[in-house]
Structure 1
Amino acid sequence: MARLNLLLQAKEPSVPVLMTIIPIVLTPFMIPGNRNTLLAEGYAHATGAEQAVPGFAILFSFFSVQLIVQMFFNEHRWGTWNRLRISSATIVDIILGKAGVAFLMQLAQMAVVLAAGSMICGYHPNGSLPALIVVAITFSASLALFGTCISLWCRSEHTALSIAMLSGILMACIGGSLTSVDTFPYWARGLARISPAYWVVNAIKTIGLDHGDVRDVLPDVMIVCGFGVLCLLLIVLRALLSRHESTGVSQD
């Protein structure tokens, strides 16, 4: 199932490629402003890339949640969803196949944006590379689960895409992906903590500017994991309800 979904995505790579290229192109425009912000926060040697590069990587990772939604609703559009449901593949196989590919897409996009930021914009974290990898993997997995959750609970593609886009923009922006949360109004700083993006930004900032290692970012990672677990529980609940509905129909 995962292999089939991977092949389908490989046949139409234009949107994922654009979602990767656009943040790389936009990042240099944000570096000067972010540098001034970081200097004001006391980071005398900051270049601005420490905020701009991961910030855009996070922002466009949220945008890419819409691609996950489309992966699910393509099956409805092609008329193959019901055939999948009655095939030998279980609902768990179907979900894992799509969520697994979504995770790989998210992780690859984030890795390419961060690597390009290092080569082009001078993004060189002074902390632990393994810690950065842990954060990227955790964040990518959580977003894959988030997109899967939206896809399973929404009845229409239009609704699912709207929720994915609006919630993604909201969480990324209030989480500080574009600028430091310290520049927000006082009331908004507390609100930012609701967003998983805040904890990802905080973790990457610790790694990039404060010589952070895995132990330093573990609290942030655990909160992002909590968001992923919440999405997973909602996915399991929807799968159970779907199985119950299918059983009820077959009995009738």
Structure 2
Amino acid sequence: MRTSIEVLRAFLWKEAVVLRTDRMVLPYLVAFPLIMAALLSSAFGKIPGVGNGANQAVPGFAVMFAFYGITFLGISHYREHGWGVWTVVRASGLPRPLLLCGVVLPYFVLGVVQFAITLTIGWAAYGMQVTGSVAAFALTVLSTELAIIGVAVVLLNVTSHMSSMQQANHVVVLVGAAASGALLPYQTMPTAVQVLAHATPQFWALQAMKGICSRHLGVAGVLPDVAVLLGMGAVLLTIGVSAFDPARSRRIALR
């Protein structure tokens, strides 16, 4: 057991070094949602029923771009296959759940950091309100990231090369953002889209975050949304971990 933990620690350290050397990842995940929020907060505030536009724009774009973390996770994993690193990792003898833990845990942490920076700047500089509790925000962020990692593991299982992973995640990001109210306020969406939104993790994350911003929700108030996010994450991870084949060939290119 101790040997497995030491190998996993080395694996996680390797992923952290890769993330640190790729200097565009965190700026992309933080800068773009803040730019979008700066451009659209005022416009959102003019829509009836929205109130403070920053309460819509900052959480909305933070959630939307958090799902792009899946793309970077996929790029990292497919590079490992292309460069032959994954063969070495497999030779370590780590069981399948720990192998996947080494793949996804750095990106879970990255996502939490992305949310923390984006939401803090949104509150300090954009006028986003926090009428509820910070603890409720933290709980919502952690459960949202669990759901995101669940989606990532499923996408790793249904794709076989880097391009297909990126394309599949674009669909997840854009459809989820459009349906859930991350791109535009939920109440402006057609009824059919509002129904579809309930099937997306983005919807439940935004329900909780906007409630914390505008409706004084504390930990108890966000528990229903958090429970759905945790349920989604648990189901997706169970499916993804059980289907994951470490020996499966994966390619960087479409050949």
TM-score over 0.5 for the pair: yes
Does structure 1 conserve the Cα–Cα contact (< 8 Å) formed by 2:130 and 2:212?
yes
User: Are 1:154 and 2:159 matched, yes or no?
Assistant: yes
**1:108 maps onto 2:118 in alignment:** no
Q: What letter matches 1:131 in structure 2?
A: A
The counterpart of 1:79, out of the listed 84, 87, 90, is 84
Give matches, 1:150-229, under 5 Å: 150-229=155-234
Contact preservation (8 Å) 1:132, 1:207: yes
SS of the residue corresponding to residue 179 of structure 1 reads coil
Name the CA distance, whole Å, in 2 between partners of 1:220 and 1:155: 33
Quick check: 2:96–2:241 contact (8 Å CA) kept in 1? Answer: no
SS at match of 2:77: helix
| Separation (CA, whole Å) in 2 of partners of 1:84 and 1:25 | 38
The percentage of aligned residue pairs carrying the same residue is 22
2: CA distance between counterparts of 1:124 and 1:96?
A: 35
1:231 is displaced (CA, Å) by 1.4
1:22 aligns with 2:32: yes
- Aligned equivalents of 1:238 and 1:86: distance in 2? 20
Structure 2: distance between partners of 1:73 and 1:215: 40
Paired residues of 1:68 and 1:148 also in contact (CA < 8 A): no
- Structure 2 residue runs without a partner (length 5+): 1-10, 249-255
Partner of 1:66: 71
- Separation of aligned partners in 1, 2:129 and 2:189: 26
In the TM superposition, structure 1's runs of 4+ consecutive aligned residues that sit over 6 Å from their partners are none
Give the match for residue 57 of structure 2. 52
Deviation of 1:214 after TM superposition, in Å, equals 1.1
| C-alpha distance in 2 between matches for 1:115 and 1:34 | 20
Instruction: Give the unaligned 5+ runs of structure 1.
Output: 246-252
- Residue by residue over 1:108-161, the C-alpha shift from the partner in whole angstroms, topping out at 9 and shown as x without a partner, is 111111111112101121111110110011111221232132123321111111
For 2:253, the equivalent position in structure 1 comes to none
Number of equivalences: 239
The question of whether the paired residues in 2 share the 8 Å contact of 1:36 and 1:48 is answered with yes
Structure 1 equivalent of residue 237 of structure 2: 232
Partner of 2:141: 136
TM-score of the superposed pair, with normalisation by structure 1 = 0.89
Cα drift, residue 63 of structure 1: 1.8
Structure 2: how far apart are the matches of 1:174 and 1:130? 27
The Cα shift of 1:14 comes to 1.4
Task: Give the Cα separation in 1 of the matches to 2:174 and 2:46.
Answer: 24
Match of 2:13 in 1: 3
Offset, 1:187: 2.0
Measured after TM superposition, the shift of residue 224 of structure 1 is 1.0
SS in 1 for 2:46: helix
Q: Note if contact 1:174-1:192 (Cα within 8 Å) is conserved in structure 2.
A: yes
Q: CA deviation at 1:242?
A: 5.1
Q: Normalization by structure 2: what TM-score?
A: 0.88
Partners of 1:159 and 1:97 in 2: how far apart?
A: 22
SS in 2 for 1:70: helix
Structure with greater helix share of residues: 1
Deviations 1:36-58 (A, max 9, x none): 22xx22x6xx3211111101101
